[in-house]
Amino acid sequence: MAEQIDAPGAQQFIPPQADTLDQLRAAAAGCQGCELYRDASQTVFGRGDESARLVFVGEQPGDMEDHKGLPFVGPAGRLLRKAVDDAGIDPGHLYLTNAVKHFRFELRGRRRIHQTPDRVHITACRPWLVAEFSRLRPELVVVLGATAAKALLGPSFRVTRQRGELLPWPASAQRPEDFARVPVDSAGKVADAPAARLLATIHPSAVLRADDQNTAYEGLVADLTVAARALAA
Ligand code: SF4
């Protein structure tokens, strides 16, 4: 019989008065919103500046990210940085995060093999994404792969069909109301989030797994070039 997954969700671990990403990051270190915290080394929260013009949302930390506590520092992260560079995006403009903030894996011998997060993990961890976005004011959100697309855009969104298209943000979100209002002061006053756009593309790990890595990489760079032009416009 399959193990029953107990996933109360992250919401109860988010301090209602958190004013900064650093406060959210500190609170996320103690999250037990789903069972993934048990086997992973640590929570891997987003990194970058609150004023970042682009927010990249990936799937989950990998083996190296889990050890270092930072997102996108493994092989897929290196490839993403190269693609960002080749697309002409200023790397100083980025905030990088993941839909799920603990590494999900299975042990094979001594190796930890990546496992795609289930819907229950994506749903449990989504409150951290919503909380991060409440502190960010991006002009463009870049969704990397199917897991991030499910977290932000819902299960019916297909990256393969709509990659490289500029969509309105937060109007294209699965629940736009989660992202539509943002705090403007520490007294709890809120205002409409600035209108932005969203673009979906493949996860850089899909390039590393592709039979034809050159073509897959060119496709990733082409999508990110759309993002770069949108920022420049
Ligand atoms: S994956 Fe997300 S919801 Fe689950 S324990 Fe980690 S931070 Fe909390």
Distance 226 CA to ligand 1 centre (A): 32
Residue to mutate (ligand 1; options 100, 103, 104, 123; most atoms within 8 A of CB)? 100
**Ligand 1 near 37 CB (within 6 A):** yes
Q: Which helix (H) or strand (E) holds 183?
A: strand 181-183
Distance 37 CA to ligand 1 centre (A): 6
pLDDT bin (cut points 50, 70, 90) of residue 5 is: low
SS3 167: strand
Which residue has 């889990």 as its token pair?
66
**Ligand 1 near 76 CB (within 6 A):** no
**Ligand 1 near 24 CB (within 6 A):** no
Question: pLDDT at position 17, please?
Answer: 85
**Ligand 1 near 100 CB (within 6 A):** yes
Tokens of 216: 């897959």
What is the number of the ligand 1 atom nearest to the C-alpha of 40?
6
pLDDT over 60 (residue 2): no
Distance 116 CA to ligand 1 centre (A): 14
Give the integer Cα–Cα distance in Å for 102 and 173: 23
Considering the entire predicted model, what is its pTM?
A: 0.96
Residue pair 48/92 in contact (Cβ under 8 Å)? The answer is no
Residue pair 10/31 in contact (Cβ under 8 Å)? The answer is yes
Buried-state track 101-116, b at ≥16 Cβ within 10 A, e below 16: bbbbbeeeeeebeeee
DSSP codes of every residue in 44-111: ---EE-TT-SEEEEES---HHHHHHT-TT-SHHHHHHHHHHHHTT--GGGEEEEESS-S--EEEETTE
pLDDT, one tens digit per residue, over 118-166 is 999 999 999 999 999 999 999 999 999 999 999 999 999 999 999 999 9
**Is 1 or 82 the better-scoring residue by pLDDT?**
82
Distance 174 CA to ligand 1 centre (A): 20
**Ligand 1 near 25 CB (within 6 A):** no
**Ligand 1 near 10 CB (within 6 A):** yes
